[in-house]
Amino acid sequence: MPDLKEAHRMALQSARSFNEKEASRFIYPMDKENIFPPDLPLTLARYGLLGLRSPKKYGGWNLDATGVVLVIEELARVSPAIADFLLSINASTGVLSLFGSEDLLSRYLPSVIRGEKIPAYALTEPLAGSDLASIRTRAEKTSGGYRLTGAKRLITLAGAADFVITLVVTDPNAEKPSRGMSLLVCEEFHTGRLIKTLGLRGLALGWITFQKSQVPSKNLLGKENEGFKHIMQSLDGGRIETAALSVGLAQGALEMAVGYAKSRRQFGKPLAEHQGIRFMIAEMQTKIDAARALVLEAARLKDQGEPYARLASAAKLFASEVGLECASAALQIHGGVGYTEDFPIERFFRDAKAIQLFEGTSEIQKMVISRHVLGD
């Protein structure tokens, strides 16, 4: 664990207080009923957890990367889905803070930080997942701004969002597709079908469509036709945060395994006294320590302004694998009851797989890492 600044301690304590006092009442409706709790944003806001990366002048913490990953890990230890909600909020507020005008920041950030408005970060399309350069949603220039037409799929908070930050094609004739894209903040959109998932439920995942939606020019984020570059700048930070989510999930799974192994007796003694179980727990702890160290080192490099893209991808790749491995091992330690809904480890097992798929799949991370190593 790094030396903590006072702001880190305060934010981490807020996350722990939320876990102790509030998290349990959200977990069941989110996972078992796939319901997004409308009071979740307001509750997180009361604990000051929706403005982690936002400037203080708008009510945020302005935390560095290290502070953010500590909070996300703590939340994920109890509820990976709630931590993922925070990841989604961070993605939106992060790109707003990086590229938004003063007008955009003052219009959107304070209401998000207070939990009054929910943003959705809409990138993925039916024909563009890992390959963002293939997006087809078009933004036609008008006298006052843009007219959007197209659809986004697998968008977290699609069914709960008040506004959407989206990547669109603004110059279809650009030499390269990635040089003709822009980021826009859109309030005129339609929510399509919500999508059921194996894990990380209750996040209103679904479709967003634009049917000649009007967006004023002042809602352009950053520079026109440089949206793809802006997205790439923000993705690496998101990968560190996603890796922290996996570390928290793995830590939570380990704690469940330890608790069960101490209380469950087989062959005349607690499971925890059987060597095979002890070895499994030792391996889990070692992998978690290694994943956490990788995440914190990537965050440290980011905080110090050093190149961190390779380590961000390495952290996301390794931590997501550790999360799934630890959730699987913890379920194994629980035995047959672990495969039932009577114990929360089955929820962690389902949640763990999803983290290998978003913020760039494991295969995408390997491509990024190899490019850096080979100097492509």
Enzyme catalytic residues: 359
Q: Which of 275, 313, 307 lies closest to 295, judged by CA? A: 313
Q: Which of 251, 240, 197, 228 lies closest to 360, judged by CA? A: 240
Q: Are 329 and 284 in contact (CB under 8 A)?
A: yes
Paired sense of beta strands 145-155 and 138-141, if any: antiparallel
Strands (E), 232-365: 265-266, 269-270
DSSP state of 59: T
| Neighbour-count burial of 324, counting CB atoms closer than 10 A to its CB (0-12 exposed, 13-18 middle, 19+ buried) | buried
Q: Are 91 and 121 in contact (CB under 8 A)?
A: yes
Strands (E), the chain: 119-122, 138-141, 145-155, 163-169, 181-186, 190-194, 206-216, 220-221, 265-266, 269-270
Q: Which of 34, 42, 37, 2 lies closest to 18, judged by CA? A: 42
Q: Is 136 helix (H, G, I), strand (E, B) or coil?
A: coil
